[in-house]
Amino acid sequence: MGHTSTTTHIAMFPFFAFGHISPFIQLSNKLSKDPTIKISFLSAPGNIPRISSTLSSTVQIIPLEIPSVDGLPPGLESTAEMTPPQTELLKKAVDKMKPQIETLLAHLRPHIIFHDFTHQWLPSIATPLNIKTFFFSVFSAISGAYIMVPGRNSQNAPTVEDLKKPPPGFPPATIATLKSYEARDFLYVFMNFGGPCVYDRGVACMDNSSAIVFKTCLEMEAPYVKFVEAQYKKPVLLAGPVVPQPPIGALDHQWADWLGKFQEKSVIFCSFGSETFLKDDQIRELILGLEMAGLPFFVVLNFPDGEDKVARLKSALPEGFEERVKDKAVVHTGWVQQQHILAHVSVGCLVCHAGLSSITEALVNDCQLVLLPQKGDQFLNSRLVSGDLKAGVEVKRDEENGYFGKEDLCTAVKAVMESVEKEPGKTVRENHRKWRDFLRDTDVHEKFLKDFVVEMKTMVHGTGTCNGKD
């Protein structure tokens, strides 16, 4: 199963969180289209059924054993089933996997292993085996450039005021500073829970890997890509934006029938993903703001595991809301077919948490973007889209605590839904259209993939070495 002259063997090793596993699956599926590439995908047995349902059939899935750690119940193999303290224990379990992965790599002998931020020890065992280590960031380049660079030294315990400011040399951008509530959220990256913090893990991965990989392109994030490259003085490879495949099957008839009652591009769809939760008072402001906008809307709200989600949703809704908007609004908790809904002819706007996948799905489906980021990289993604790309509008919020009112939400929705092109190329709607056309261009994406594979293979099969700091 070792190296051959005709095949490049790649191992994929994401952290055991589906927000991380999914981008590794998407990249695997892109690369598996090349017949000269062989892929092995590493994960825990409990994740394999879900992984195999979306992973190319040509990819080999290899089960791993998660070592026992005090306080981490056996059988929990992804963060989807875990509390935040258990997630920190899972990172400790991952650190204990080093001998297991070393034995596996000695047997598999891939040319390259793509790894996640939790595997800062991986270059030390892969390099002696002549295996290239590619740190694959599942976040935007702007996030890596703002937070994950050597200038953010965790030993100095950065404060909120420190994190409000970009690192030295950060490229001129729409982000002059972060707001207080945004910077406060990023303190987590530097917190120690009995092992390396997220920052120390991420910087070590980037510092010691053969190359850094982002799922972006220079057209969208050139200044941030070049800044990371200058900070680490090593190759930064770009896989291109991960554009989702068209959804398979039909939209559930319940939602198709409801959406079918409304005019083209008139419905606002609102979703914050499966792991982002709004507080009750903000749910009320969100709903009232959408009601004020005067357009039909479909809201999906989720709540932490262990809660009575239906009861929680009912208690959070504004008084009298259901009677007032019963014919033109739906509020739902639980999973829905987001891609199918965004592709429906009646849907014209997405209000979301600025997760990269949701942003991309809205752009390719011609849905205007209203951004309401809630944590971490979402703040920076929002600033990229609303500021640099000018392809969406961020909801105005309190600088200190992040609170937004119904008027703030309504204003943002109207800004994208009532946009008038007074100056061609200057409006959000026009910029949205430009990036939609770019992301839909299959020739562009084929070139991204081809260039990425060439760079990757040159590092593996070309002259010289690029592993670590050598």
Domain count for the chain: 2
Is residue 467 situated within a structural domain?
A: no
Mean pLDDT of the chain: 90
pLDDT at 465 over 70: no
Closest by Cα among 32, 461, 449 to 213: 449
Q: What is the pLDDT of residue 155?
A: 66
20: annotated active-site residue:
yes
Query: Is the domain of 429 the same as that of 292?
Result: yes
Q: What is the mean pLDDT of residues 319-323?
A: 84
State whether 330 and 273 are in the same domain: yes
253 catalytic, yes or no?
A: no
User: What integer is the mean pLDDT of 104-122?
Assistant: 97
Say if residue 203 is in the same domain as residue 142. Answer: yes
Q: Are residues 203 and 286 in the same domain?
A: no
Query: Does residue 3 belong to any structural domain of this protein?
Result: no
Tens digits of residue pLDDT in 137-163: 999 999 999 999 998 876 677 899 999
Instruction: Tell whether 306 and 239 lie within a shared domain.
Output: no
- Here the CATH number for the domain that contains residue 453 is 3.40.50.2000
The residue among 315 and 350 whose pLDDT is bigger is: 350
User: Do 213 and 257 belong to one domain?
Assistant: no
Do 164 and 72 share a structural domain?
yes
- Note the pLDDT of residue 310: 80
Domain that residue 368 falls in = 253-440
Please state the pTM of the whole predicted model.
0.91
Amino acid at 457: K
Q: Are 206 and 148 in contact (CB under 8 A)?
A: yes
The pLDDT of residue 174: 67
Q: Please determine, for residue 197, whether its predicted confidence score (pLDDT) is greater than 50.
A: yes
Q: Are residues 210 and 111 in the same domain?
A: yes
- Is a pLDDT exceeding 60 seen at residue 420? no
**47 falls within a domain:** yes
Domain assignment present for residue 450? The answer is yes
* Structural domain contains residue 1: no
36 and 79 housed in the same domain: yes
CB 361 within 8 A of CB 144: no
Same-domain status, 160 and 274:
no
Q: Do 183 and 309 lie in a common domain?
A: no
Residue 75 CA to its chain's centroid (Å): 26
Residue 193 predicted with pLDDT over 70:
yes
- Give the active site residue among 111, 115, 116, 119: 116
pLDDT band at 226; cut points 50, 70, 90 = very high
Which of these is catalytic: 9, 20, 111, 432? 20
Burial class of residue 275, CB neighbours in 10 A (0-12, 13-18, 19+): middle
Q: How far is 453 from 83, CA to CA, in rounded Å?
A: 38
240 & 341 share domain: no
One-letter amino acid at 294 equals G
